[in-house]
Amino acid sequence: MRSFEIGRITGIPIRLNITLVVFLPLLAWLISRDAQLAFYADVVNAISPQAVDLAVISSGSTPILVGVGTALGLFVGVLLHELGHSWAARRYGVTISSITLWIFGGMAHMENLPEDWDVELYVALAGPAMSVLVGAVCYALLFVVPAQSTVLFVVGCLAVINVTLAIFNLIPAFPMDGGRVLRALLARSRPYAEATQTAASVGKLMAILMAAFAVFAFAPLLLLVAMFVYVAAGAESRTTVLRELLRGMTVREMMSTDVRTVTPETTVAEFLDRVVTERTTAYPVMDRGTVTGVVTLGSVRQVDPEARANTTVADVMGAAPPAVDPGADAFEALAAMSATKGDRVLVVEDGRFVGQLTASDFTTAIEVLQGLGPRRGVDLPDGYA
């Protein structure tokens, strides 16, 4: 879903996903309900040196103000949580491409996190540590915020919520921090991919337990979280197995060099004739030695049959896929292809187009490697490709 940049912190782009824009008003409304206000008032009164008057925060438009303030404060806490991960990762030379805030919290996008158990452990724990710190600051503010005020209630809520966020994130299930902590600890004495598979299995079990609790407690939001955790655990395992499977392989070993291309001036009619005779449905568009786009069978379907002889592929082609060097790591090429939701990457050497690497090439390579048997202690699932 679409995300847009709202600013930068220490050079890290902060992106807001559209799901959060939709969810924040709902969260604010949920917090403003009488039952939630009463619950949080009891919790805040249990930790605050100054009492909260439920009648004050329940009167007039105050519940909405409290809901909005707490919801916004929650996601400021989530942002700081992700910044904790990001700043720790930077200490180990990891590039942070962005932080995205969305319906299920936040996500720091890290490039090439080292597969060292201690690095992953410190980076994973930095987020919960930041949340505890934020909670401690909010708790300290309870001693100076005016008594019987709306601000006192919001600050007290945020103290509890941030500590709860830290504890919840330590549940051993991907993509939460606890899953990465568990993998890091397991990776001290076993291969990284095997540690990932074990941690993912534990994560799926936790997701099932979470879902069961959500059903009995009638907590639909928690049920959605459980479903997300279950899917994410499987995705993390598959990604790690793929990385291990492709380890040591370069783009040059997998790419296709006999690539059929078309020129921008090729008409749609000529393109369709080539599709029929060559049985290829996608062609890079080559203009004076440079690939400027890709034309596919799908991209020409909307062209009126009577206009096909006068319409060129330049009029209907899609954007050029990402380019990689022949010596690049095969898994990184796969990641680049997945990031653009495309089905190929171009292979460019010294500015010259030398081939391409498609989803079909990856599928073939994975099938061959699966046929060779497990590598480095990794059990490959049947039909994994």
3-state SS record for 164-192: HHHHHHCCCCCCCHHHHHHHHHHCCCCCH
pLDDT for 371 equals 61
pLDDT at 372 over 60: no
Q: Token pair of 324, please?
A: 């990689």
Domain 251-359 listed as CATH 3.10.580.10: yes
Distance between CA atoms of 126 and 103, rounded to whole angstroms?
22
pLDDT of 260-309, one tens digit each? Answer: 899 999 999 999 999 999 888 888 898 888 888 889 888 888 888 889 89
Residue 285 pairs in a beta bridge with 262, 293
Q: What angle separates helix 18-32 from helix 34-47, to the nearest 10 degrees?
A: 80
Residue 382's pLDDT band, with cuts at 50, 70 and 90, is very low
What Cα–Cα distance (Å) separates residue 194 from each residue in 120, 237, 240? 15, 9, 9
pLDDT at 378 over 80: no
CA dihedral for 150, 151, 152, 158, sign (positive or negative): positive
pLDDT for 376 equals 43
Distance between CA atoms of 244 and 372, rounded to whole angstroms?
14
Q: What is the mean pLDDT of residues 249-253?
A: 88
Written as one letter, the residue type at 331 is: F
Predicted TM-score (pTM) of this structure? 0.72
Tell me how crowded residue 187 is: count the other CB atoms within 10 A of its CB: 22
pLDDT, mean over the chain: 85
The CATH 3.10.580.10 portion of the chain extends over: 251-359
pLDDT at 178 over 90: yes
pLDDT for 1 equals 59
pLDDT for 155 equals 92
Q: What is the mean pLDDT of residues 317-328?
A: 87
Question: Taking the CA atoms of the chain, what radius of gyration do you get in angstroms?
Answer: 26
